[in-house]
Structure 1
Amino acid sequence: MHLSPIGKFCQQQWEKVTEHYPYATVPLFVVMPNHIHAIVSINQETEPAVQKTARETLAIVVGGVKRSVSSFAREHKIEFGWQSRYYDRIIRNRGEGNNIANYIENNVARWDSDEYYSKEP
């Protein structure tokens, strides 16, 4: 996968999530041409002032990443927009986590069969 400048910036933001949100870690993610897959772990004990559910806290993390990438796009005059919502799923057990991790790790190799695949840049 060859990332565009905005894709590279997005990747950097996901790599630095814990710097901005100490209660969140991202053990696995992949930036695709038109979407992102990530496993985000929320540890609410790390941030005792956070009195939100894990799903609300995840929304803060995802919103922060989306905001920084959008700002980068505006600063560099790159036409860009996020879809308004994102799909989240709470991983309930190791087997489910392994299946999701496998999907993320192999997503790049399956890109040309993805329903959103486009040869356009």
Structure 2
Amino acid sequence: MQLNAFGKIADHEWLNTPNIRDNVSLHEHIIMPNHMHGILEITFQKSNTPEIGAFKSPSQSIGSIIRGYKIATIKRIKDLIKNSNSGELKEGDKKENYSTGELQFAPPAQFAPPAQFAPTEGFAPTATKKIINLDFKIWQRNYYEHIIRNERAFRNISNYIIKNPKQWGKDKFYKS
């Protein structure tokens, strides 16, 4: 899977998750054009003393970990779009590398690509900046989680993630 600029941000932020939260280990993951898969292990340190009534940070929950990941990617993607005329996007990130359709992981159809991705040369960068709507949705509202209870399930899900890019041609949003 060849990642565009948005996919590279999503991948980087996912890999950065254990650096932010010391109670997280990452296993297999893949960033796809319109979704991602990942195995996230939450490791809790057991205390010798009971913590009855002690406040527990909700930052250790799967919901807060995913929320933090989504917020970080949204911020970086929107910053990238705002600063797209600064040359931050690479030459290889052409418009045709963007995901298409109303996808939960890429800007929806109303997104106007930065000037260097415009289909015709000479499109004014300032005009492009003015029409970019930074209120678009990057992620779907929710996420799917599955608790892996044994080694066999772990292997099956890991293999599914590894093989997922080969199935991309069958995805309903795939365009050749």
Give the alignment's TM-score, normalised by structure 1: 0.85
Q: Give a deviation string over 1:43-76, Cα, whole Å, max 9, x none.
A: 01179988378xx611111111100110012212
Structure 1 letter corresponding to 2:154: G
Local SS of the residue matching 1:106: helix
How many angstroms does 1:118 deviate by? 2.2
The corresponding residue for 1:107 is 164
Paired with 2:29 and 2:145, the residues of 1 have a C-alpha distance of 13
Which consecutive residues of structure 2, in runs of 5 or more, have no partner in the other structure? 83-106, 108-136
Tell me, what secondary structure is at the counterpart of 2:67?
helix
**5+ long unaligned stretches in structure 1:** none
* Offset, 1:33: 0.3
Corresponding residue of 1:81: 138
User: Structure 2-normalised TM-score?
Assistant: 0.60
Question: Post-superposition, which runs of at least 4 consecutive aligned residues in structure 1 deviate over 3 A?
Answer: 46-53
Q: Specify the code of the residue in structure 2 equivalent to 1:71.
A: K
1:59 aligns to 2:63 (yes or no): yes
Change over 3 Å in CA distance of 1:46–1:19 after alignment to 2 = farther
Question: What corresponds to 1:118 in structure 2?
Answer: 174
Change in CA separation of 1:7 and 1:50 when aligned onto 2, cut-off 3 Å: farther
Amino acid at match of 1:10: A
Q: What percent of counterpart residues are identical?
A: 27
1:9, 1:59 → 2: CA distance? 20
